[in-house]
Amino acid sequence: MRKEYDFTKARKNPYAKRLKKAVTIRLDTDTVAYFKDVAAETGIAYQILINLYLRDCAASHKKLSMRWASKSGAA
């Protein structure tokens, strides 16, 4: 190993913008089980599958449509 290295001809990492960020997320056990089953079928890690799905949602600007059921007879 050298004592010093010359980085004057170095270039920036072209993939730096694509780096991933570690986050903590809580998912239902059924959701994780689903992606693990798909992972077993495809040979792709379930974390990658979740990332691919979320990336697809973001790329296509999918919006979640939620409606809360109103309580009938509530005062």
Shortest CA distance to 38 belongs to which of 24, 28, 48, 29?
48
| pLDDT tier for residue 75 given thresholds of 50, 70 and 90 | low
What is the pTM assigned to this prediction? 0.65
> pLDDT tens for residues 19-28?
888 899 999 9
> pLDDT tens for residues 16-69?
877 888 899 999 999 999 999 999 999 999 999 999 999 999 999 999 898 888
The Cα 33–Cα 62 span in angstroms is: 23
CA distances for 35 relative to 46, 53, 54, 57, 64, angstroms: 5, 10, 12, 16, 19
CA distances for 49 relative to 1, 8, 20, 41, 64, angstroms: 39, 39, 14, 12, 19
